[in-house]
Structure 1
Amino acid sequence: MTTHRAARGRDPLSGASVTARTPKVPLTGRLLALRVLVLVTAVLGINYVTWRWLESINWSAWWIAVPLVLAETYSLVDSLLFGLTMWRLRRRGEAPPPPEGATVDVFVTTYNEPLDLVMATAEAAQRIRYPHRTWILDDGARPELRARAEAAGIGWITRSADWAGHSRHAKAGNLNNALMTTDGEFILILDADQVPDPAILDRTLGWFRDPRMALVQTPQVFVNVPGDDPLGSQAPLFYGPIQQGKDGWNAAFFCGSNAVLRREALMQLGITRYVSEVQLAVSRALRTADRVLARARRSLDPAQTEARAALDQVVAAVARARAELRDGAALADVTYRFQQRVDAAAREIVAADVDSLQADLAAIAELSSELDEEDGGLAEVDRGALTRLAARDWSPLGAIETVRALVRAVDVDKDDEAQPVMPMATISVTEDMATCMRLHALGWRTAYHDETLALGLAPEDLGTMLTQRLRWAQGTVQVMLRENPLVQRGLTLAQRLMYWATMWSYLSGFAAVVYFAAPVVYLVFGVLPVTGLTAEFFLRLVPFLLVNQLLFTVVGRGRRTWRGQQYSLALFPVWIRSVTSAVGNVVFGRSLAFAVTPKERQSVDRRPWHLVRPQLAVMSLLVVAAVVGTVRMVVADASVLGTVTNLVWVAFDLAVLSVVVQAVRYRGPEQPEGASA
């Protein structure tokens, strides 16, 4: 199966259609065997879950039976998405030689990290062999860092004065500011702690010989992590098979650091988003204009034929402008022609009621004042204001003047932002995934280069790790809510599913709660969520679990993936909080603060057990349930098969959750004698 599909986009400057084909993946014997395993896993999983829904739900205990089968269905979908990812696993190997004469800017992003750490990374970036210019992007605007950078011959960039009083957009804003002050054809982005290999550009730039290649991502590997990786910092499954599988579908995505990007692709993206946002504002204005005009026409006296005719002209002008926008006409031409038609209609009206006209003009002045106060024109006026305008009784001339003011007020200059063009996405607390998804929607390609070319620092304490994971999850869920990949135009079906697979994984916290609760309910109360622990139940479930685990083992090829599997369940409070806080932010407008991950070990005077209270509570419940269940079995008050099955389940849950005990007890890597924590 080596066919490939095309993702189609449109160049916003020329209007020409562009196509990015899903890369062809050679069908090797190893890949064929992997696909067979994927198919077997899918068949067994679908067979089991279908049977569960149709035959084995204990409806008399629906309150636990239904949540359990929903959790199992969630896990099946997760397994199917993983299998789809692995279906086109692509190992790229060596890149071609770098293009000759390419110019490169290396960005080292920083906010409040220690100066020595930032300078160590920047000086290592200076030593990259391929010709380039190194820049420190100092979002903290620290004079001492500037002095050290300039002394070392390293460029230093901080926010321009244009950002004063505007949203900063965290790291995305820092990068967007730097993009407007540099001019390299390619950009290598490094976090402040990611020390690059001198060969990083020599090893990656060759992929950009493909003129539609927008991004090359490399792994993130950490040097301060012990072999048992108690905080789960290394991600060998993601920075390996998962990204390689996504790469096979042209869906490998940007992870924020250790990546090279093409400036042309980013700038095209920024311009495209600018145009689409202004178009959306004009479209909103025209929709409001429709309602204003409809209300004004209803209030006319039948004898006011001239006024009705004038309003009809404006109604027709609104309809025509909306049609032109849908057909892709140039925005400036659409708005200019619309204003000319409205002006012609306004000249035909004779004011018959001076009092009502004066009232209308006062309302229009209030509208203009409101637009000015909103620091961004119509693009930022809330929907409530537009609704109030549409509901007001307007005289004919007042209605026409309101329509004209609405369209004129569209913030073409985007005064609400420091700069109108924002190539890096600013819709979440993490800029990487949304930016890359938009690039894919425009028809650009990406690559995952599976070679360690930078070494970073992982969190060294539990609190920092939890802060980092929460931010990653919140950012991903924000993107899911704001720009759901399943409905994004320009993406192939496979790309939509690849992005959705990552977003879907962060919903696992809710399923984990059910998986922890079900054995407790049975062992304590004797309530079984299935109709019976029959031979059929085990013959359908056990093969699926074994083959599914075999798939992970084969895909991992010796990589240590168990720690990642533990944290996917053990961090269930973090995943649940990420969903609820992201929903609160996107749907209800609640603030969602951005927290930079500290690059130093935080104070650990006492063990932070309070950070894992939910997990400790669950572990306590599991232990109590195991004791109660054992006693009930001994006194013949519970089925031996049911009790033993659920005790095995409890043992697995405790093994998963035990990682948080290790994390709390972890004191960070060994420090040299005399070094501070």
Structure 2
Amino acid sequence: MEVTLYEWLIVSSAALIVFYLLSRKYHWSKQVLIALFLAINAIYLGWRAVYTLPTMNTISIIAGILLLLTEIAGFLQSIVFSVISWKPFKRKHIPLSEFESLPTVDIFIATYNESEDLLKRTIAACTLIRYPKNLVSIYVCDDGRRASVRELCEEFGIGYIDRKDNSHAKAGNLNHALTKTNGEIVVTMDADMVPQANFLERTLGQFTDPEMVFVQAPQVFYNDDPFQYNLFFEDQITNEQDFFMRQLEEGKDRFNATMYVGSNALFRRTALDEVGGFATGVITEDMATGMLLQSDDRKTAFINETLAVGLSPETYADLLKQRDRWCRGNIQVIRKFNPLKMKGLSFIQKLLYMDGIHYWFFGIYKMVFLLAPLLFLVFNIYSLDVAFTQLLWFWVPAFISSQLMFKSLANKKRTVLWSHVYEVAMAPYMAISVLSEIFLKKKFKFNVTRKGVQTNQRRFLWVTSIPYLLLAALTLVALVKVVLYYVYPERYSVNPDVLYINVFWVLYNAAAIILAVFLSFERPRHRNSERFSVDLQGVLHGSEAAVSFNIINISESGARIELDALSIEEYLSKEQTFTIDFAGVEGLTVKKEWINEKNGKLLMGISFVDPNLEQYAETIRVLFSEPVNAEIEKYYDKALLTTAMYRFLRRTKREDPSFHRQSIRKNVSLPGQLNIDGQTVEMTVLDYSEAGCSVQLNRSLRVDQLVKVSTNERELAGRTAQICWVRKKGRNRYVGLKFVA
């Protein structure tokens, strides 16, 4: 028997590896890999059901059944993913020239309490969309009823729509706008979603098919989500939503089951009228609306291109609130618009919508996986009872097949390990959301996700982190008990085979729990708008000279530029305001925020001062409408969990207060003294400018303390300074000083 199982392990693992390698080149190999995954995991689950359930006591029997049911639920989700991924599908582009006559288009920008800076960005981009101006109308649908927003719309020359109340939240807002407009095609945009100039050129052609009722483009995010940002892993992993927005939506499109995601979508007005407008009575009105439109064989389409970009939640707490809303909304949908009972949906459409709803139960499933090994190691409650070698024969091929199959199909948009991290991080809260929505049925108020968050302080989300800290504490207790099992084996009665299994299991979970705790450390976000790395040329105009420059990075409020102008560094240090020309933006007034020298070039930080409407719109065109930023498209590249932990531990620290340099810094090594409250401390000046200096010494100082500088350098002697920041490295302290006299 053991020889047969050993051969099974070797043959199955070898076959998986071979077909995985072939799948990089041949799609048929991916299909074989999918088939092997399904077969191997079906065998594994069959073996689990027959040979591994514990029978020693009632609690263990219940725990064992729960774990098995959880594994079966995960396998059912994998079957649906396999169906979606079985055959690649790419929708063919249809140009606008295919229309006999172009339709009229209404663009709705739905807003409630989003900042006007975000809204202004979206409005400007909408006015830049390439389409005959007499055929497109733009409306801001303002449920906040703000006079300032009305004035902003008047400034841009677009429509403004408000209403007397906020009934049915966003869906009610859009339905009200439908009664005030008459465009043949309706486009919905969230307040933070910025469309590109070619948005209609790449999507609208699908409506040449008279049966086409809505077209969805993906939501793509130009800022780093909390997983990327808080873990200092921006360049290694994608936005957590990319896998669904790009991979799964495209797969669903093959079955006419594209999900409407609330923004970046176009609708045929007559079809909306037929289903009574945007669905109400549920939080996730977008999902319900899309499902209603797809009934009765109406056609929908997904265009897998970056055609609009927006902001994902910027704090971990806000991300959890957003997912809580989505989770509850999906459960509300099955109550009011049960896909299984909806007439006009095909079997596969019903299956995909039910799978989308079923997905939100992952919180409960993941909590079972997290608690099962802890219950055994801490409380001796079994969830499976099997010899370690037997589990090895069946579990290893199943594990390898899931890893390789997913890696082959995910196109670097997700990995199994990072899916594990995401699910562990959200599991406690999503489990509560599901259970409370099902059993308590508490009325949930629609809340808009905060965007454009700006913070200057690093903080730890103590309340948010409580579930992870509890899981971490239980993990630590479990590992201590493992040590005791081996040190005092005579005191404990433990199945050693099951012990090995659960030790591996708890360590696997521990990695994700640690990263969930790390996520609770919110990094400061100093900028009020995202900054993109670019390579653009321009000219800086001052009172005495004009200097060419390269833009290194840019946002709608400022930029960092590089100048090859060391010969006029004194002039640049003294001047405070300039005008610049770049990429179609002309005569824009800028203020110098800081200036420094690096590798024989000058670096300068500038902020834009009161740009007029034309200058602002041109800047938005550079940033979004004709994007020059290639970093939006990201992939999982060497995204090891250990690397993420190392990156966090190495880089996380309380960031220094902003210390703006208005003049060139000179690197030196000058001995001197600091006079602090009548005491003299020896120090070394490392660099200095007209505005301040940084020094090295071996005494602790506090921020905001006033000191007097004494050196042989005439420019520094006798200067009074304020301490702006303090860093410790070994025995030395590094201090930043800003001159105040």
- TM-score (structure 2 length as normaliser): 0.63
1:125-164 equivalence runs, <5 A: 125-131=126-132, 132-159=136-163, 161=164, 164=165
CA deviation map 1:538-564 (0-9, x unaligned): 222221121112222111212244544
1:190: which partner in 2? 189
Q: 2:250 aligns with which of 244, 248, 259?
A: 244
Q: Distance in 2 between matches of 1:580 and 1:182?
A: 41
State the Cα deviation string for residues 18-50 of structure 1 (Å, max 9, x = none). xxxxxxxxxx98543333222222112222112
Tell me, in whole angstroms, the C-alpha distance in 1 between the residues paired with 2:524 and 2:80.
35
Does residue 118 in structure 1 map to residue 114 in structure 2?
Answer: no
Aligned equivalent of 1:657, options 513, 528, 531: 513
Q: Offset of 1:252 from its aligned partner? A: 1.0
- The aligned counterpart of 1:258 is 264
Contact 1:221 1:454 in 2 (8 A): yes
Query: For 1:41, which of 31, 37, 41 is the aligned residue?
Result: 37
Query: 2:467 pairs with 606, 614, 627, which one?
Result: 614
**Alignment deviations for residues 78-100 of structure 1 (CA, whole Å, 9 cap, x no partner):** 21122122224412253443634
After superposing the two structures, state which structure 1 stretch, 90-99 or 446-455, moved more: 90-99
1:504-515 mapped onto 2 (5 Å cutoff):
504-515=358-369
Task: Give the aligned length.
Answer: 490
Q: Determine if the alignment matches structure 1 residue 635 to structure 2 residue 488.
A: yes
Q: Partner letter of residue 662 of structure 1?
A: F
Asked if the contact 2:215/2:303 (under 8 Å) is kept, the reply is: yes
AA aligned to 2:243 is: L
Shift of 1:234: 3.6
Q: 1:32 aligns with which of 28, 34, 41?
A: 28
The answer to whether 1:548 aligns with 2:552 is: no
Structure 1 residue 525 displacement after superposition? 4.0
1:156 is paired with a residue of what secondary structure? strand
Shift of 1:584: 4.9
Tell me if 1:58 matches 2:59: no
8 Å Cα contact 1:48/1:540 also seen in 2: yes
CA contact (8 A) 2:458 2:522 kept: no
1:52/1:560 CA distance change after superposition, 3 Å: closer
- Give 1:230 shift: 4.6
1:68 maps to a residue whose letter is L
Bigger mean CA offset, 472-481 vs 629-638: 629-638
Decide whether the 8 Å contact of 1:89 with 1:246 is kept in 2. no
Partner Cα separation in structure 2 for residue 645 and residue 37 of structure 1: 27
CA distance in 1: counterparts of 2:346 and 2:26, whole angstroms: 26
Shift of 1:670: 5.0
Of residues 98-107 and 176-185 in structure 1, the stretch that sits farther from structure 2 once superposed is: 98-107
Instruction: Return the offset for 1:569.
Output: 2.9
C-alpha deviation, 1:227, in angstroms: 10
Contact 1:481 1:583 in 2 (8 A): no
In structure 1, C-alpha distance between the alignment counterparts of 2:449 and 2:226, rounded to whole Å: 22
Work out the CA distance in 1 between the residues paired with 2:325 and 2:226.
Answer: 25
**Shift of residue 602 of structure 1?**
6.4
Q: What is the alpha-carbon distance in structure 1 between the residues aligned to residue 92 and residue 229 of structure 2?
A: 31
Q: Per the alignment, in what secondary structure is the counterpart of residue 178 of structure 1?
A: helix
Alignment-derived partner of residue 424 in structure 1: 278
Aligned-pair CA distance for 1:460: 1.4
83-92 or 436-445, which deviates more: 83-92
| Aligned-partner residue type, residue 576 of structure 1 | A
| Runs of 5+ consecutive residues of structure 1 not aligned to the other structure | 1-27, 271-422
Seen in structure 2, the aligned counterparts of structure 1 residues 144 and 256 have a Cα distance that, compared at 3 Å, is same
> Residue 471 of structure 1: CA displacement?
0.8
- Give per-residue Cα distances to partners, 1:454-492, cap 9 Å, x unaligned: 111121112211111111111111112322212322111
Corresponding residue number in structure 2 for 1:578: 433
> Which one-letter code corresponds to 1:33 in the other structure?
S
Query: How much does 1:228 deviate?
Result: 6.0
In the TM superposition, what whole-angstrom CA distance separates every residue of 1:601-623 from its partner, at most 9, and x where no partner exists?
A: 26667321211211221121112
Change over 3 Å in CA distance of 1:668–1:543 after alignment to 2: farther
1:566 corresponds in structure 2 to 421
Question: What displacement does 1:573 show?
Answer: 2.1
Q: SS of the residue aligned with 1:596?
A: coil
Shift of 1:135: 0.8
- Within 2, Cα distance between the matches of 1:430 and 1:226? 21
Distance in 1 between the 2:55 and 2:425 partners? 29
CA contact (8 A) 1:233 1:459 kept: no
Deviation by residue 1:148-178 (Cα, 9 ceiling, x = unmatched): 101210111112x5xx5xx711110011111
Output the amino acid matched with 1:635: Y
Q: Using the alignment, how far apart are the partners of 2:145 and 2:475 within structure 1?
A: 51
Task: Confirm or deny: 8 A CA contact 2:458 2:524 kept in the other structure.
Answer: no
Give the corresponding residue for 1:18: none
Identity %: 34
Q: 5 Å matches for 1:254-333?
A: 254-270=260-276
How far has the Cα of 1:640 moved from its partner? Answer: 4.7
> Residues of 2 paired with 1:486 and 1:49: CA distance?
27
> Which residue is equivalent to 1:67?
66
Residue 314 of structure 2: SS of its match in structure 1? Answer: coil
Partner AA of 2:83 in structure 1: L
Counterpart selection for 2:503 from 638, 643, 647? 647
Does structure 1 conserve the Cα–Cα contact (< 8 Å) formed by 2:367 and 2:427? yes
Structure 1 residue 595 and structure 2 residue 447: aligned? yes
Contact 2:229 2:523 in 1 (8 A): no
Structure with higher helix content: 1
Residue 449 of structure 1: CA displacement?
0.9
Aligned residue in 2 for 1:101: 102
Task: List per-residue Cα deviations over 1:398-432 (Å, max 9, x = no partner).
Answer: xxxxxxxxxxxxxxxxxxxxxxxxx1111311211
**What CA deviation, in whole Å up to 9, does each residue of 1:77-126 have, x standing for no partner?**
12112212222441225344363411111111100111121111011101
Q: Which residue of 2 aligns with 1:78?
A: 77
Select the structure with the greater relative contact order (CA < 8 A; seq sep ≥ 6): 1
Match of residue 667 from structure 1: 523
Q: State the one-letter code of the partner of 2:347.
A: L
CA shift digits 1:267-318 (9 cap, x unpaired): 1111xxxxxxxxxxxxxxxxxxxxxxxxxxxxxxxxxxxxxxxxxxxxxxxx
The question of whether the paired residues in 2 share the 8 Å contact of 1:230 and 1:662 is answered with no
- Asked whether the 8 Å contact 1:510–1:576 carries over to 2, the reply is yes
Q: How far apart are the structure 1 equivalents of 2:513 and 2:214? A: 37
Equivalent-residue separation in structure 2 for 1:569 and 1:81 (angstroms): 22
**Gap change, CA 1:653 and 1:614, over 3 Å in 2:** same
1:253–1:436 contact (8 Å) kept in structure 2: yes
In 2, distance between residues paired with 1:128 and 1:204? 12
Structure 1 residue 635: Cα displacement = 3.2
Q: Could you tell me whether the CA contact under 8 Å between 1:221 and 1:234 is conserved in 2?
A: no
Separation of aligned partners in 1, 2:478 and 2:95:
59
Separation in structure 2 between the aligned mates of residue 477 and residue 259 of structure 1, nearest angstrom:
23
486, 489, 503: which one aligns with 2:357? 503
> Is the contact between residue 126 and residue 133 of structure 1 (CA under 8 Å) also seen in structure 2?
no
Helix, strand or coil: the match of 1:442? helix
SS at match of 2:350: helix
Amino acid at match of 1:424: F
- The residue identity in structure 2 corresponding to 1:629 is V
Instruction: Give secondary structure in 1 for the equivalent of 2:403.
Output: helix
Structure 1 position 446, deviation (Å): 1.3
Is the contact made by 1:220 and 1:456 (CA closer than 8 Å) also made in structure 2?
Answer: yes
Instruction: Report the CA distance between 1:671 and its aligned residue.
Output: 2.4
Structure 1 SS opposite 2:188 = strand
- Structure 2: where are the runs of 5+ without partners? 1-23, 231-237, 529-592, 595-606, 608-656, 659-741
Normalised TM-score (structure 1): 0.68
Q: Which secondary structure does the structure 1 equivalent of 2:297 belong to?
A: coil
Q: CA separation in 2, counterparts of 1:660 and 1:176? A: 40
Q: Post-superposition shift, 1:575?
A: 1.3
